Amino acid sequence: MLVIKDKTFQVNGVVLSYDDQGIGHLPILFIHGFPFDKSMWQPQLDFFRRTHRVIAYDIRGFGKSTAGTEEVSISLFADDLINLLDALQINKAIVCGLSMGGYILLNAISRYPERFEAIILSDTQCIADSDAAKEKRYTTIQQIEAGGLEDFVKGFVKNIFCEETLNDKNDLVEKIKNVILSTDTKTITGTLIAIAQRREMCSSLKDIKVPSLILCGKEDTITPPDQAQFLQCNILNSRLYSIDKAGHLSNLEQPDEFNQHISNFISAL
């Protein structure tokens, strides 16, 4: 079985780190959310590498990828995704994006639709930030820059997990805390700006022609289930499944159910 971890390639002045495991003619590629890294997909890599080629990478500035000097944006992150596919000589892939990973995926498929065999949108949405949401992000940036990263992480973690996870899965919660705390402050604040300035993708949903799976934790308060329902109503040939006892990180909170939904989806392609 092919298992490549922390392999790198260079593009546009940055070095991106990725894991490449398993063997298969149609790869599954995973895009992590903010402010995590590719390690958040380990339960999926462990499960699917037995039957498929699976790839997870660190978005620039996160994990073991370098940040570079260019001002980041969701479009730039989407270009990095396409450049990774090119570097790995992958013409088409099944791509799964969670939260910000979903923003990146929607941006990429709107501009490069020919590169996707199918998509999986997890705990994400197509809307842009409202003025109030932007203002909240900018306030968060000011607090972080004033030395409040640990305070940000404490509040953030309470919001991304459901109550049962917070009570019963302390190891998972602490692991995610440590991943965020290990990320450079400039990467976090710069990416918050990129998220605040992202454009809406709702108007492009009708143009998605590939099979689409939508997953959402029933207790997700960051990108709530009604946003997932909107995606399903506006993407042709899409399916939606809600996951019990999961918040914003449904792939980690309920990995078995998450993996089974993806497995069933891929089997039906």
Per residue in 116-125, pLDDT tens? 999 999 999 9
* pLDDT of the residue at 125: 98
Measure the CA–CA gap between 171 and 192, rounded to whole angstroms. Answer: 26
Measure the CA–CA gap between 161 and 149, rounded to whole angstroms. Answer: 18
From the candidate CATH numbers 3.40.50.1820, 3.40.50.620, 3.30.420.40, 3.40.50.300, the one assigned to the domain spanning 3-267: 3.40.50.1820
Interior CA angle at 240 toward 235 and 246, to 5°?
A: 135
For residues 144-154, give the mean pLDDT.
91
* pLDDT of the residue at 63: 98
Measure the CA–CA gap between 215 and 152, rounded to whole angstroms. Answer: 26
Write the single-letter amino acid at 201: M
* pLDDT of the residue at 49: 96
Domain spans of the chain, in order of start: 3-267
For residues 58-80, give the mean pLDDT.
97
Spatial CA neighbour of 144 closest among 111, 186, 91: 186
Per residue in 153-192, pLDDT tens? 999 999 999 999 999 999 999 999 999 999 999 999 999 9
* pLDDT of the residue at 263: 98
Count Cα neighbours of 28 within 13 Å in the Cβ-side half-sphere.
26
Q: Say yes or no to pLDDT of 201 above 90.
A: yes
Alpha helices in the chain (DSSP H): 42-48, 74-87, 100-111, 131-145, 149-160, 163-168, 170-181, 185-196, 225-234, 250-253, 255-267
Per residue in 33-45, pLDDT tens? 999 999 999 999 9
Question: Hey, how many other C-beta atoms are within 10 angstroms of the C-beta on 68?
Answer: 17
Question: Hey, how many other C-beta atoms are within 10 angstroms of the C-beta on 43?
Answer: 15
Q: Please, which residues have CB within 8 angstroms of residue 266's CB and are 6 or more apart in sequence? A: 28, 52, 94, 118
Per residue in 223-246, pLDDT tens? 999 999 999 999 998 999 999 999
For strand 28-31 and strand 116-122, is the pairing parallel, antiparallel, or unpaired? unpaired
Could you identify the residue written with the tokens 């949405």? 125
* pLDDT of the residue at 1: 74
Q: What is the largest CA-CA distance in the chain?
A: 50
148 pLDDT band, cuts 50/70/90, is confident
| 8 A C-beta contact, residue 63 and residue 220 | no
Q: Please, which residues have CB within 8 angstroms of residue 88's CB and are 6 or more apart in sequence? A: 20, 27, 55
| 179 dihedral zone (left: phi>0; alpha: psi -120 to 50; beta) | alpha
| DSSP, res 77 | H
| 8 A C-beta contact, residue 231 and residue 240 | yes
CA 232 → CA 44, 114, 119, 127, 189, distances in Å? 23, 21, 12, 14, 31
pTM equals 0.98
